[in-house]
């Protein structure tokens, strides 16, 4: 009797696990949505990016790849939620665009401005009412990070 109950509970747990893992395929026109650094015609998805005002060195943003060239105009909206000025609260920047008929790919560059804060930036992108990107990205000071890691790298080189 106990083994039957154990088998039944195991089957129930497995069924719940499989049901939780099941993801609905997106219903909208977007096949792939990427957030990261534009490089060599691709988007390098990252969890962190260095703060940079020099767009010749780094550009970042999001790319939407549609299942097929659009047959009707798509409505696009995005919001970027980042730390507020001087560490006070949060600041939200919003944008929108219309993706034209016939387009198969849409790129939106996100431009950093002097005074933009470091920290966690949350990016949310919605196409025709469907959320296609909703994730955070850490923005850091590359020079400060190099200074912090410098002595560690020097010690490692001496050991080799």
What pLDDT was estimated at residue 21? 45
Structure tokens at 18: 């499989």
Q: Superfamily assignment of 23-153 in CATH?
A: Macroglobulin (MG2) domain (2.60.40.1930)
Alpha helices in 63-141 (DSSP H): none
pLDDT, average across residues 141-154:
76
pLDDT tens for each residue of 104-121: 999 999 988 888 899 999
**Res 160 pLDDT > 50:** no
> By the 8 A CB rule, do 31 and 131 touch?
no
Q: Is the distance from CB of 72 to CB of 88 less than 8 angstroms?
A: no
Do the Cβ atoms of 69 and 92 come closer than 8 Å? no
Q: What is the pLDDT of residues 44-101, one digit of tens each?
A: 998 998 998 888 788 999 999 999 999 999 999 999 999 987 777 898 999 999 999 9
Which of the residue ranges 36-50, 59-73, 139-153 would you say has the lowest mean pLDDT? 139-153
62 CB burial (10 A radius; 0-12, 13-18, 19+)? buried
Q: Cα separation of 4 and 70, whole Å?
A: 55
């Amino acid at each position: 009797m106990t083994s039957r109950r154990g088998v039944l509970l195991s089957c129930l747990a497995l069924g719940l696990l499989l049901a939780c893992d099941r993801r609905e395929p997106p219903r909208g026109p977007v096949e792939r949505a990427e957030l990261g650094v534009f490089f060599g015609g691709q988007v390098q998805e990252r969890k962190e990016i260095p703060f940079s005002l020099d767009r010749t060195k780094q550009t970042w943003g999001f790319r939407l790849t549609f299942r097929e060239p659009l047959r009707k105009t798509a409505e696009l909206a995005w919001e970027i939620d980042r730390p507020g000025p001087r560490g006070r609260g949060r600041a939200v920047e919003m944008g929108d665009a219309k993706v034209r008929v016939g387009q198969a790919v849409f790129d939106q560059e996100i431009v950093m401005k002097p005074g933009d804060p470091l920290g966690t930036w949350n990016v949310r992108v919605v196409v025709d009412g469907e959320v296609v990107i909703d994730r955070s990205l850490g923005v850091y000071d590359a020079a400060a990070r190099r200074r912090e890691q410098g002595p560690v790298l020097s010690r490692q080189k001496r050991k080799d």
